[in-house]
Amino acid sequence: MQHPAFEEVSFHHHSDDADFKKRVRKTTILLSVLTVIELAIGLTIYNIHKGPNPSAGLVLAFKGLVCILTLAKAYYIVSVFMHLGDEIRNMIMTIVVPLMLFIWFIFAFIYEGNSYKNLKNTYDPYFKETTMPKPHQAAEEAPVEKPSGKE
Amino acid sequence: MSTPATVHQTKWWSGGKSPFNLEYGKLMMWYFLMSDAFTFGAFLISYGSIRFSQNFWPDPNVVFNAFPGAGHANLPLAFVSVMTFILIISSVTMVLAVHAGHKGDKQGVIKWMLWTILGGLAFLGCQAWEWHHLLTGEHLVLAEGKLELIGQNMRENPWGQLVHDTQALTAALNTSSHETLVHIVHSHNHEHTIAELAAKTDTELKGMINLAEMHVREKGPVAFGGYFFGITGFHGFHVFSGVVINVIMLIMTQKNVFQNKGHYLMIEKAGLYWHFVDLVWVFVFLCFYLI
C-alpha cells in the first residue's frame, strides 16, 4: 500500500504482483498434492483392513504418515495463506509458543485414554467380552490348517 | 524471511509504533484464533482420548462411503475429498481477495469475495447432505438377540463389528416381528412399497432376506456420534459464521466503506478467520476421516 493506514504500522511488506501469484499457485498445488497423497494413504489403509491379514504395524505407520502430511498442510496454510511467515519473529512466537502446550496435551490425554482402557479390560469382564474385536476371519479359519490349535 | 535492513534499525519497543508492526484489530484476530485453536484442540484431543479408551472403533471408510446420487455404491473418502477441495479452493480465492484489497482494487475484492462465499455455501451444503445421510440411513444391527434397523445419531451407532455367527442371525430373524421384517426387506429392496411388503406373509418376507449379503453388525461405541456431530457441527458453525462475515465484508466493499477509509484491512481480518476455518478442517478431516 502506498500510504500507511495506521501510524503504529511503520513498515509495509511490498510484494511483487507476479511473485505473489506464483507463490499462491505453488502453495495451492502443494496443498492439493498433499491432500491427494493423504487420500491415497486413506484408501490404502482401507484395503489393508479389508485384506486377509491386516498388519496393525503397517496401518499405524500409514496413520503416522498422514499425521505428518497434515502438519505440513497446516504449516503452509498458516505461513503462506495467513502470512504468519511474513510477520515479525516476536509476534510469531507469541502465537506459536503457547500452541506448544498441545505437544504435552496430546500425549497426556491419549495416554490417559489408553490407561482407562487397560483398567476396564482388567476389572470389567463384561466390557472386555462385548467390545474386544473378534479374531479376523482368516484367524478363525486357522485352526482348520493347524489341528493343534483346536481345543 | 526477507526483511529489509530498515527493520533491524527500527527501535520497535521505544513507543509510538506497534512492536509487532501489526494493526491492533489484526493482532487481536490472531489471538482470538489462537484461543479458538485451543477450543478445537481440546475437542479433538478429548475425542482421541475416548477413542483410545475403547477396544473397538468404527473404520471411517466403512461409515463415510456414500456419495450424492450414487445410491448404495461403496465409495470411501470420495465425498469428503470433494468437501476438502472446496474448502482449499475457497481459501485460495480468499487470498486473492485480500491481495486485491492490498492493491485497492474494489472490483477484484468483490469478485474473489463472491467466489469465497460460494465455496463456503457449497461446503455447508455438502455437510448438510452428509449429516442427513448419516441420520436417516438405516443399517441392520444385531443387538441382544434382536435385529434392528438404526441410523447414526447421538444415541446409537450402527457401525459395530460384523456378526459372523449365522446361527444367531437366523435365530434373531425367526423371532423378528412382521413390521421389522417389512423394514429389513424395504431397506434393501426398493422395488416394493411398504404397503405391498406388509401384505406378504412372514415366510415370504424371510425368503427375500439374505443375511449373508447384508453385513449385519453389532452396535458400535455411542461416543462416535456425539463426537462426530459435535466437532463437525462446531466446525460447520464456524464456516457458517465465516460466510456471514464474508457477506458483510462484501456489502461493505460494495458500499465503498473500505475505499473511503483508504484501506481494506477488514478484508484481511475476515481472511484470517476464513483461513483458520480451512485449517481446522484439515485436522477434522485427519481425525475423523483418515485415521
Q: How many angstroms separate the CA of residue B12 from the nearest CA in chain A?
A: 9
Q: What is the pLDDT at residue A135?
A: 66
pLDDT score for A149 = 37
Residue B138 pLDDT exceeds 70: yes
Strand, coil or helix: B226 = helix
Look at the block and give the residue holding cell 475505499.
B259
- Best residue in B11, B20, B23, B264 for a mutation probing chain A (most A CBs within 10 Å): B20
SS3 assignment for A41-109: HHHHHHHHHHCCCCCHHHHHHHHHHHHHHHHHHHHHHHHHHCCHHHCCHHHHHHHHHHHCHHHHHHHHH
Cβ contacts (< 8 Å) between B286 and chain A: which residues? Answer: 38, 66-67, 70
- Model confidence pLDDT, tens digit, residues B68-113: 888 778 888 999 999 999 999 999 999 999 999 988 999 999 999 9
B276 contacts in chain A (CB < 8 Å) = 82
pLDDT higher than threshold 50 for residue A141: no
pLDDT exceeds cutoff 90 at B163: no
Q: Cβ B59–A46 below 8 Å, yes or no?
A: yes
Residues A87, B161: C-beta atoms closer than 8 Å = no
Minimum Cα–Cα distance from B21: chain A residue? A9
Q: What is the pLDDT of residue B211?
A: 77
**Is residue A147's pLDDT more than 70?**
no
Q: Is the CB of B88 less than 8 angstroms away from the CB of A95? A: no
In eight-state DSSP terms, residue B162 is: B
CB–CB contacts below 8 A, A to B = 182
Nearest CA in chain A to B275: A82
For residue B199, what are the CA distances in angstroms to A31, A91, B196, B203, B205?
A: 56, 72, 5, 12, 10
CA distance, residue B102 to nearest chain A CA (Å)? 6
A132-145 mean pLDDT: 54
The predicted pLDDT at position A10 comes to 62
pLDDT above 70 covers a percentage of chain B that reads 97
Q: What is the mean pLDDT of the segment spanning B181-207?
A: 80
- B103 contact residues in A (CB cutoff 8 A): 17
Is B186 a residue whose pLDDT tops 70? yes
Q: A55 to chain B, minimum CA–CA distance in Å?
A: 15
Please report the domains of chain B, with CATH numbers, ordered by start residue: 23-49+78-135+224-290 (1.20.120.80), 137-213 (no CATH)
Instruction: Convert the pLDDT of each residue in A68-80 to its tens digit.
Output: 999 999 999 999 9
From B182's Cα to the closest Cα of chain A, the distance in A is: 29
The CA-atom distances, in angstroms, between B3 and each of A16, A23, B30, B95 are: 14, 17, 21, 21
Q: What ipTM, to 2 d.p.?
A: 0.86
If 0-12 CB within 10 Å is exposed, 13-18 middle and 19+ buried, where does residue A17 land? exposed
Q: Give the pLDDT score at A32.
A: 95
Residues of B in contact with A67 (CB under 8 A): 286, 291
* Higher per-residue confidence, B275 vs B2: B275
Place of cell 484501506: B263
**Partner-chain contact A9 B54, CB within 8 Å:** no
Q: Tell me what the pLDDT averaged over chain B comes to.
A: 89
Interface test with chain B among A20, A39, A90, by most B beta carbons within 10 Å: A39
Question: Which among B49, B96, B272 has CB closest to A109?
Answer: B49
Reported as a single tens digit per residue, the pLDDT across A94-123 is 999 999 999 999 999 999 999 999 999 999
pLDDT on residue A8: 64
Which residues are CB-neighbours of B203 under 8 A, at least 6 positions away?
none
